[in-house]
Chain A
Amino acid sequence: MNPGAEGSVGIVAAQRVFIDTPLRLDCGRTLPCHELMIETYGTLNAARSNAVLICHALSGDHHAAGVYAADDRKPGWWDNCIGPGKPIDTDRFFVVALNNLGGCRGSTGPNSIDPATGKAYGPDFPLLTVRDWVRSQAMLADTLGVACWAAVIGGSLGGMQVMQWAIDLPERIAHAIVIAAAPQLSAQNIAFNEIARQAILSDPEFHGGHFYDHGVVPSRGLMLARMIGHITYLSDAAMRAKFGNELKIAVPSFNFDIEFEVESYLRYQGQAFVDRFDANTYLLMTKALDYFDPAREFGDRLDLAFERTRARFLVVAFSSDWRFSPARSREIVKALVDAGRDVSYALIDSQLGHDDFLMPIPQYHDVLRHYLARAGDEANAASTGATA
């Protein structure tokens, strides 16, 4: 493949999709209607068989590729992988990215106005599960006229949505691409999430989640939460390579100002996050992660959960990822093999850590490209058959 053939999807615009089908949630509550922000790239074929759904991770959104203006310096979060000639090839696929329900980038979520009260939902917004997201995404597929996704793709929390899709709606997903994910969270994973939540909940400006009413944001708590998260996204080696234990100043100043490079980095990342993310959404997202465990309703037998699936799977893990380590991906692979499902597994030699799933590592993109080339052939064969 000639890298020069890879291009950008160019200037894109987000769309607001209104879903008026009532959505019954795992917590027992029902949302009578909701809105999802989406972006789409590429063209849906006549048979509507070439649609690909991108599921985002903890802090992602619907802006996965392209730019909003010609002078926009920051493209979508997975722009290196989505576009003409890229592994998720928009010349072949109709790619749909959304901001999940409960998000804070325009989809219905805690910072939306509750029609019942005329005020922001805040902490009254229901807590969600990965299953709820799949239900909501299925309603989006109905709206778009997509009966079956050619592929559903996601990394981290996105990969969990992919697994849930394959289990809950086996007839609606042909290929499941699960990247840097885990079959459920470990106690250590939940512990990190809990510290992040406590940081937010204990911020005096959180106001029990009603901070919108006070015209403030719990910036210290949200910043701390993001700083903790960031540590888990990077490998020890990557942090060492990037920051060492370099002092920013010539001699220690013996106080708590920023003295080390890594402190500066974490504070910058934390501060940048406060400007673009909602504290209630962060709480909700981490709870959805913690609740994820598709084996739970199958007597803790993940293989029994996967026996329902019909999709072919590609599972990808990264050698330096300790948040969702390769061993967790092997648990997914083992359960799929035990269930007799089609699965391939690639272990990508990587340096950065969990965040490597967003990086254009050649070995990683080669596997995705090869896998999706076949999925694209199938999708387009279906289209030829339908239009002939």
Chain B
Amino acid sequence: MKLRADLEPIVDWIKPGSRILDLGCGNGMLLAHLRDTRGVRGYGLEIDPQNVAECVAAGVNVIQADIDDGLHDFGTASFDHVVMTQALQALQRPDEAIAEILRVGKTGIVTFPNFGHWRVRMALLRGRMPVTPALPSRWFDTPNIHLCTVGDFEALCAQRRWKILDRRLLNRAHRSGPANRIAPNLFSELAMYLLEAPRITGFAT
């Protein structure tokens, strides 16, 4: 199975042989790729029955469940990485979801379409809701209910004291060009973050 282009940068963040949980794992391509190339073991959570069947066909461990129902079935720090790609903006409470990701995972990997991209801003300046390559749905049929910008996301991380270990801010071709470095919130279509929960000081770990 060929890996979707936007998933490629994630692979570099995943330690070989680690244990991962992939929230909204789709047809399981990331898990299958990591299993085959990095000896990674893990599970995917997926709500769509067709995707569940495809995961099963690919030999990927998949658990049919709704991320919005929470991760209470999973123990604290029970995974090396918890990954959630392009699902944040469709959740009821993205902040609670990230907190759960960072409870269950030693690190969390979160990706989302950047609502601060200039195409989005242009559309809004024209007085219309944006329909862009990264956000192809129209306002009335979009699953996205909590869109945010790179700026919003980093402000939330700062407020909750989630540590940003690494980030990738990518253009339409899923590359990081000079423009993404100079003005990431304006030129990045896709944002990817490697996060860690705040370390509790005063306790031996």
Decide whether A and B assemble into one complex: yes
- With contacts A337-B43, A371-B56 taken as known, whether A363 is within 8 angstroms of B49 at the C-beta atoms is yes
User: How distant is B32 from chain A, measured CB to nearest CB, in Å?
Assistant: 12
B78 touches A370 (CB 8 A): no
Among B57, B59, B73, B75, which residue has its beta carbon within 8 angstroms of that of A333? Answer: B73
Chain B 54-68 per-residue mask, 1 if CB under 8 angstroms from chain A, else 0: 111101111111000
A346 touches B61 (CB 8 A): no
B53 touches A338 (CB 8 A): no
- With contacts A370-B57, A374-B59 taken as known, whether A346 is within 8 angstroms of B43 at the C-beta atoms is no
- Judge if A382 is at the interface, Cβ distance under 8 Å: no
- With contacts A343-B63, A345-B62, A345-B64 taken as known, whether A338 is within 8 angstroms of B49 at the C-beta atoms is no
User: How distant is A99 from chain B, measured CB to nearest CB, in Å?
Assistant: 30
In the complex, chain B residues whose CB is within 8 Å of the CB of A346: 49, 52-53, 56, 64
- Judge if B74 is at the interface, Cβ distance under 8 Å: yes
- Judge if A344 is at the interface, Cβ distance under 8 Å: yes
User: How distant is A104 from chain B, measured CB to nearest CB, in Å?
Assistant: 36
Taking residues whose C-beta sits less than 8 angstroms from the other chain, chain A's interface range is 20 to 34
B73 touches A314 (CB 8 A): no
User: How distant is A226 from chain B, measured CB to nearest CB, in Å?
Assistant: 33
User: How distant is B47 from chain A, measured CB to nearest CB, in Å?
Assistant: 9
User: How distant is B20 from chain A, measured CB to nearest CB, in Å?
Assistant: 12
- Judge if A342 is at the interface, Cβ distance under 8 Å: yes
In the complex, chain A residues whose CB is within 8 Å of the CB of B59: 374
A interface, by DSSP: helix, strand, loop or mixed?
helix
Among B41, B60, B78, which residue has its beta carbon within 8 angstroms of that of A338? Answer: B78
A370 touches B61 (CB 8 A): no
In the complex, chain B residues whose CB is within 8 Å of the CB of A342: 61
Residue picked from A330, A334, A345, most chain B C-beta under 10 Å? A345
- Judge if A373 is at the interface, Cβ distance under 8 Å: yes
User: How distant is B201 from chain A, measured CB to nearest CB, in Å?
Assistant: 29
User: How distant is B24 from chain A, measured CB to nearest CB, in Å?
Assistant: 15
In the complex, chain B residues whose CB is within 8 Å of the CB of A371: 56
In the complex the two chains form, what is the Cα distance from A370 to B43 in whole Å? 17
B57 touches A344 (CB 8 A): no
B61 touches A344 (CB 8 A): yes
In the complex, chain A residues whose CB is within 8 Å of the CB of B19: 340
Taking residues whose C-beta sits less than 8 angstroms from the other chain, chain B's interface range is 20 to 34
In the complex the two chains form, what is the Cα distance from A330 to B61 in whole Å? 14
In the complex the two chains form, what is the Cα distance from A347 to B47 in whole Å? 9
A333 touches B63 (CB 8 A): yes
A314 touches B63 (CB 8 A): no
In the complex, chain B residues whose CB is within 8 Å of the CB of A333: 63, 73
**B54 and chain A: residue at smallest CB distance:** A370
Within B49-94, the residues touching A (CB, 8 Å) are 49, 52-57, 59-65, 73-75, 78
In the complex the two chains form, what is the Cα distance from A314 to B60 in whole Å? 11
User: How distant is B186 from chain A, measured CB to nearest CB, in Å?
Assistant: 42
User: How distant is A180 from chain B, measured CB to nearest CB, in Å?
Assistant: 14
In the complex, chain A residues whose CB is within 8 Å of the CB of B54: 370
In the complex the two chains form, what is the Cα distance from A370 to B119 in whole Å? 42
- Judge if A367 is at the interface, Cβ distance under 8 Å: yes
Within A228-263, the residues touching B (CB, 8 Å) are none
- With contacts A333-B73, A334-B73, A337-B73 taken as known, whether A344 is within 8 angstroms of B53 at the C-beta atoms is no
Chain A 322-336 per-residue mask, 1 if CB under 8 angstroms from chain B, else 0: 000000001001100
In the complex the two chains form, what is the Cα distance from A338 to B19 in whole Å? 12
In the complex the two chains form, what is the Cα distance from A89 to B52 in whole Å? 21
A374 touches B57 (CB 8 A): yes
**A370 and chain B: residue at smallest CB distance:** B57
A373 touches B78 (CB 8 A): no
User: How distant is A376 from chain B, measured CB to nearest CB, in Å?
Assistant: 12
**A333 and chain B: residue at smallest CB distance:** B63
- With contacts A344-B55, A346-B52, A363-B49 taken as known, whether A337 is within 8 angstroms of B62 at the C-beta atoms is no
Within A80-121, the residues touching B (CB, 8 Å) are none
A370 touches B74 (CB 8 A): no
Residue picked from B53, B54, B65, most chain A C-beta under 10 Å? B53
In the complex the two chains form, what is the Cα distance from A345 to B59 in whole Å? 12
Within A21-62, the residues touching B (CB, 8 Å) are none
B74 touches A314 (CB 8 A): no
Among B49, B61, B65, B74, which residue has its beta carbon within 8 angstroms of that of A343? Answer: B61
A-B contacts, 21 of them at CB < 8 A, read A337-B63, A337-B78, A338-B75, A338-B78, A344-B52, A344-B56, A344-B62, A345-B63, A345-B64, A346-B49, A346-B53, A346-B56, A347-B64, A347-B65, A348-B49, A363-B53, A366-B53, A370-B56, A373-B57, A374-B57, A374-B59
Q: Which B residues are closer than 8 A to A by beta carbons?
A: 19, 41, 43, 49, 52-57, 59-65, 73-75, 78
Q: A314-B56, A349-B49 are in contact. List 11 more A-B contacts (CB 8 A).
A: A330-B73, A334-B73, A344-B52, A344-B61, A344-B63, A346-B49, A346-B53, A363-B53, A370-B53, A371-B56, A374-B57
Q: Which A residues are closer than 8 A to B by beta carbons?
A: 314, 330, 333-334, 337-338, 340, 342-349, 363, 366-367, 370-371, 373-374
The 10 A-B residue pairs with the shortest CB-CB distance, nearest first, are A370-B57, A370-B56, A345-B63, A347-B64, A334-B73, A366-B53, A344-B62, A371-B56, A363-B49, A374-B59
